[in-house]
C-alpha cells in the first residue's frame, strides 16, 4: 500500500520553516498534485513546470475527459481499473466540476515525468514518499535515499479504521546515469 503522503507534507514544512533547516532544498509531495492550490506551493518551493496547464488541458498521451462525479464513480472508474489490470495502465484525466482527477497514479506519474521532472531536477530535491510509479516513465534509474525520519509521535494514531500510519520519512530523490532495468 502506498504511504499516506497527505499527512506528510505539513510535518516536513514544519521542520523546514519552523526549525529553520533545509531552507535551500526543494520539498515535494505528489500527494497534493491534484489540489488547486498546490501550484502556488510549487512556486514557493521554486519548482517550475507546466504541470497544471497540462492537467487542465490534457496531453495526447493523457487525454482529458469532462464528466460528473456519478459517472466517474459508476462507469469510468471501473472501466479504467479493469483495463489497467490487464497490464498497461489506461492514462487519463477527469474534470469534475472544476476539479481534476487522475485515472490512477500512473497518469499522475506520466504527467510529472513530462512536465515537472526537468524542474524537479534543478536543485536538491526531497520527497515525502517514494513514488514508484515514476519508474515506468523515467528512462534513468531513480534512487530514493532515506535521509530522515521525523520524530513524530504516532501513539494512538495507528490502527484506526485501517488507516496506515504515515511514514514520516524524507527521501533524497536523484537520478543515476545508468538506464533503468
| Residue 36 touching other proteins (CB under 8 A) | yes
Question: Would you state the cell numbers that stand for residue 115, as one nine-digit string?
Answer: 512536465
* Site residue total, other proteins (CB under 8 A): 61
Q: Would you give the binding string for other proteins spanning residues 108-127, x where CB under 8 A is met? A: x-------------------
| 27, 91, 107, 170: which one binds other proteins (CB under 8 A) | 107
Alpha-carbon dihedral sign for residues 109, 4, 89, 140 = positive
Residue among 82 and 176 whose Cβ is closer to other proteins: 82
Residue holding cell 487542465?
56
The span of 56-64, 136-144, 158-166, 171-179 binding other proteins (CB under 8 A) equals 158-166
| 10, 118, 132, 180: which one binds other proteins (CB under 8 A) | 10
| Residue 132 touching other proteins (CB under 8 A) | no
- Contacts of 118 by beta carbon, 8 Å cutoff, 6+ apart: 49
| Residue 11 touching other proteins (CB under 8 A) | yes
Helix (H, G, I), strand (E, B) or coil at 140: strand
Q: How far apart are CA 26 and CA 13, in angstroms?
A: 11
DSSP character at residue 58 = -
Amino acid at each position: 500500500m502506498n504511504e499516506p503522503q497527505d499527512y506528510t507534507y505539513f510535518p516536513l514544512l514544519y521542520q523546514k520553516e519552523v526549525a529553520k533547516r533545509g531552507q535551500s532544498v526543494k520539498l515535494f509531495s505528489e500527494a497534493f498534485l491534484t489540489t488547486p492550490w498546490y501550484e502556488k506551493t510549487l512556486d514557493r518551493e521554486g519548482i517550475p513546470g507546466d504541470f497544471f496547464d497540462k492537467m487542465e488541458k490534457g496531453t495526447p498521451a493523457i487525454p482529458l475527459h469532462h464528466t460528473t462525479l456519478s459517472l466517474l464513480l459508476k462507469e469510468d472508474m471501473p472501466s479504467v481499473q479493469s483495463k489497467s489490470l490487464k497490464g498497461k495502465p489506461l492514462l487519463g484525466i477527469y474534470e469534475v466540476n472544476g476539479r481534476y482527477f487522475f485515472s490512477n497514479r500512473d497518469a499522475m506519474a506520466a504527467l510529472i515525468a513530462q512536465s515537472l521532472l526537468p524542474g524537479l531536477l534543478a536543485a536538491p530535491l526531497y520527497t515525502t514518499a517514494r513514488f514508484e510509479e515514476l519508474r515506468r516513465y523515467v528512462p534513468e534509474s531513480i534512487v530514493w535515499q532515506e535521509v530522515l525520519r521525523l520524530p513524530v509521535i504516532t501513539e494512538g494514531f495507528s490502527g484506526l479504521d485501517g488507516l496506515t500510519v504515515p511514514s514520516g520519512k524524507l527521501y533524497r530523490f536523484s537520478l543515476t546515469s545508468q538506464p533503468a532495468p
